[in-house]
Amino acid sequence: MFTIEFHEIPLEPFRDLPGEIRTEAFFRAHEFMAAYVALQSARVVRAMGAPPLEPTAASRAVEELGVAPDRSVAWDWIARMVRDSVRVGRYEGLEEDLSSEMAPGRPAGRSPLRESIVSEDEALVPALDLIEAAAAGYPGFLRGERDGGSILFDAAAPALWDRYFDNANPIYAPGNTLAAQAAALALEARGKSAGVRALEVGSGCGSAAEALLRRAGAALGRYVLTDISPNFLRKARERASAAAPEGGPRLEYRLVDLNRPAGSWSVELGGYDLVYAVNVLHSVRDLRASLEGIRGLIAPGGLLVLGECVRPARGKPVHPEFVFQLLDEFRSPLLDPESRPEPGFLDASSWRASLERAGFGEIRFVPEFEPAVAAYPEHSIAAIIAEPR
């Protein structure tokens, strides 16, 4: 099911990855998740009444399968994911595993592939569970019968989110680890070893803050965590308080909606040496406006550090989108042909264009993104460091 074996990937393009990420275990986890999303995407196609390995084009799916017009973007993504997986040989046992799911007595979605993944790494169960919850809700969502938020945030979902956005989850934690190390090294390179004023936008459940505090907590004098959700911010408070080193930094918490004008954010203009955001800015409505607002928060000599899932190439689906495209904000940003050409995650050139248009320069990716993709075409995580011009 793997597109390439780990020992065949050149190490040089990945020399800047933290050692705990540059491992066969992370590589295998990534490939497992992509294979499982391919399986569940094919399962959704079958549930909608189309051949599972030959998905109907989006232009026909509205008329022939009952896909709601405003959900056709999600159908197109699923169809591309299946076709791409078949093309690269992502999961050669796809058809067999789909058939086995229908065997008497087997719980829906509990395929031999899931059993194989769990037997190798039980810590991936939260990711598998969230993928299955999304897959189960997709047919109703695609037909316009259910809202994506109700699928992902129903009574059972909060526990799924907590377990997924956790540094114990080997498919999610590497993004936090990479962003935290990039921020720590960038601060160190600027000689900022103490008293750093840090702001995190979109703290979510706090796992990115936890990673940053463990890597660079001693350098932080003040750390302001923000989110749109009071519930998430409460969870972030718990994690950050537990991870903060003895003696500092001072932790503060604010409710901030990045889709509102920057003047409403209730944080200080020019007040931060580090603005930190992990897996949040790809989902804002107006990326340029949000980035321009963030630029205004950064003090002279300060920097922005992003941790993002980055699309290896424009138009190429990446497996985490299977879950997140159920959310309206993920599917419906303001688009621009150069800087924001498609919904979901951005490719590297789009990030550069977006940051440059918003007034940032000295933009670099960790690891250098294009060489990494040339070495491993499925590579899709990066830290992005930028400075206000």
With respect to residue 72, please indicate whether it lies within any of the assigned structural domains.
yes
Boundary of a domain, candidates 164, 189, 205? 164
With respect to residue 96, please indicate whether it lies within any of the assigned structural domains.
yes
CATH number at residue 308: 3.40.50.150
Same domain, yes or no: 192 and 253: yes
Boundary of a domain, candidates 131, 164, 197? 164
Same domain, yes or no: 177 and 320: yes
Same domain, yes or no: 143 and 106: yes
Q: What is the mean pLDDT of residues 164-176?
A: 95
Same domain, yes or no: 178 and 157: no
In this predicted structure, the answer to whether residue 105 has a pLDDT above a threshold of 60 is: no
Q: What is the mean pLDDT of residues 25-32?
A: 94
Amino acid occupying residue 146: R
Local confidence band at 88 (pLDDT 50, 70, 90 cut-offs): confident
Q: Are 143 and 66 in contact (CB under 8 A)?
A: yes
With respect to residue 263, please indicate whether it lies within any of the assigned structural domains.
yes
Same domain, yes or no: 80 and 145: yes
Same domain, yes or no: 119 and 183: no
Q: What is the mean pLDDT of residues 124-134?
A: 94
Q: What is the mean pLDDT of residues 341-357?
A: 97
CA 296 from chain center: how many Å?
25
β-partners of residue 252 are 224
Local confidence band at 97 (pLDDT 50, 70, 90 cut-offs): low
Whether this prediction's pTM lies above 0.85 is answered by yes
Range of the domain at 250: 173-388
Same domain, yes or no: 282 and 352: yes
Task: Determine the pLDDT at residue 159.
Answer: 78
With respect to residue 1, please indicate whether it lies within any of the assigned structural domains.
no
Local confidence band at 273 (pLDDT 50, 70, 90 cut-offs): very high
What is the rounded CA–CA span in Å between residue 311 and residue 381? Answer: 8
The chain-wide mean pLDDT, for the chain, equals: 92
Q: How many domains does the chain fold into?
A: 2
Same domain, yes or no: 32 and 179: no
Q: What percent of the chain has pLDDT over 70?
A: 93
The per-residue pLDDT for range 350-373, each reduced to its tens digit, is: 999 999 999 999 999 999 999 999
Same domain, yes or no: 193 and 309: yes
